[in-house]
């Protein structure tokens, strides 16, 4: 029996998938549920803009049930925090003792998550914290992680990177000072193959659009 049943904040991207990969190597830990926030108006993952059906396909391949949190659009910070608080209460009642996040080095984001979990009965975990991001990006690729770049902030990275595969060529083409894992919000990804999946997800590239100051590349079920 596992010593701890935990939840994992699942964005559909590479850092979440790698966090799960590391957690599954941690004795005494069972990742019992994935938590994903969806923009209910678009029925897509918030910020990553990935279709809900593709996130559900990811969950099936991990063998872990997904707990979706539907966010209104637009969504105020107060509404977001209220919905997250409700979700925390539900997972605690299900015997979850911690939530893991795929944050890499942004101290303000980590501190915010820690504050939000105070008094909930949930411990925050950060399995990929402070792993050097260039080393991490190459390690993911060598391990077989395959992902599509679904969102680019054109103020930080050229829009031509939207829709590309997160692979060796992508990393070599990234200009300085863009973080190799996009931790400063330069880009977001959708993982379609990973060591934590029972099988790859067949996908096709869709249209690329600019909306609300970001460039989004649609990913379609193959």
Mind listing the pLDDT tens digit for each residue in 147-171?
999 999 999 999 999 999 999 999 9
Q: Is the pLDDT of residue 74 over 80?
A: yes
- Examine the domain organization and report whether 115 and 149 are in the same domain: no
- Examine the domain organization and report whether 95 and 147 are in the same domain: no
pLDDT at res. 2? 59
Q: Is the pLDDT of residue 47 over 90?
A: no
- What's the structural domain count of the chain? 2
pLDDT at res. 51? 97
Average pLDDT, the chain: 96
- Examine the domain organization and report whether 97 and 202 are in the same domain: no
Let me know the angle formed at the C-alpha of 115 by 110 and 117, rounded to the nearest 5 degrees. 100
- Examine the domain organization and report whether 18 and 114 are in the same domain: yes
Rounded to two decimals, the pTM is: 0.95
- Examine the domain organization and report whether 117 and 138 are in the same domain: no
pLDDT at res. 152? 98
Domain end (from 107, 125, 143): 125
Q: Is the pLDDT of residue 197 over 60?
A: yes
- Examine the domain organization and report whether 150 and 96 are in the same domain: no
Q: Is the pLDDT of residue 28 over 60?
A: yes
pLDDT at res. 3? 72
Backbone angles phi, psi at 124, to 5 degrees: -80, 135
d(CA 176, CA 123): 35
Domain end (from 105, 125, 145): 125
- Examine the domain organization and report whether 119 and 145 are in the same domain: no
- Examine the domain organization and report whether 114 and 187 are in the same domain: no
Domain end (from 72, 107, 125): 125
Range of the domain at 166: 133-221
- Examine the domain organization and report whether 9 and 104 are in the same domain: yes
Q: Is the pLDDT of residue 199 over 80?
A: yes
- Examine the domain organization and report whether 98 and 153 are in the same domain: no
- Examine the domain organization and report whether 118 and 45 are in the same domain: yes
Collapsed DSSP state (helix, strand, coil) of residue 162: coil
pLDDT in tens, 98-155: 999 999 999 999 999 999 999 999 999 999 999 999 999 999 999 999 999 999 999 9
Is residue 69 a contact partner of residue 43, using CB atoms and an 8 Å limit? no
Q: Is the pLDDT of residue 8 over 90?
A: yes
Which residues neighbour 182 within 8 Å (Cβ) at sequence distance 6 or greater? 188, 189
CA distances for 21 relative to 17, 51, 206, angstroms: 6, 23, 28
Nearest Cα neighbor of 191 from 54, 87, 31, 27 is: 54
- Examine the domain organization and report whether 79 and 141 are in the same domain: no
Backbone angles phi, psi at 125, to 5 degrees: -125, 145
Kindly report the CATH number assigned to the domain that includes residue 25: 3.40.50.620
């Amino acid at each position: 029996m596992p010593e701890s049943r935990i939840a994992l904040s699942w964005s559909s991207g590479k850092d979440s998938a790698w966090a799960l990969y590391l957690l599954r190597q941690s004795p005494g830990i069972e990742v019992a549920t994935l938590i994903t926030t969806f923009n209910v108006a678009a029925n897509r993952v918030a910020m990553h803009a990935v279709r809900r059906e593709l996130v559900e396909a990811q969950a099936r391949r991990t063998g872990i049930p997904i707990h979706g949190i539907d966010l209104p659009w637009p969504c105020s910070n107060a509404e977001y925090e209220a919905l997250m608080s409700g979700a925390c209460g539900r997972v605690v009642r299900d015997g979850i003792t911690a939530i893991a996040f795929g944050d890499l080095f942004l101290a303000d984001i980590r501190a915010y998550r820690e504050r939000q979990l105070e008094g909930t009965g949930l411990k925050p975990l950060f399995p990929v914290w402070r792993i050097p991001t260039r080393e991490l990006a190459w390690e993911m690729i060598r391990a077989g992680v395959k992902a599509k770049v679904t969102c680019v902030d054109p103020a930080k990275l050229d829009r031509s990177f939207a829709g590309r595969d997160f692979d060796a060529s992508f990393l070599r083409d990234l200009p300085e000072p863009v973080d190799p894992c996009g931790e400063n919000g330069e880009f977001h990804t959708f993982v379609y193959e990973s060591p934590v999946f029972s099988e790859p997800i067949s996908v096709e590239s869709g249209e690329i659009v600019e909306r609300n100051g970001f460039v989004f590349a649609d990913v379609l079920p193959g």
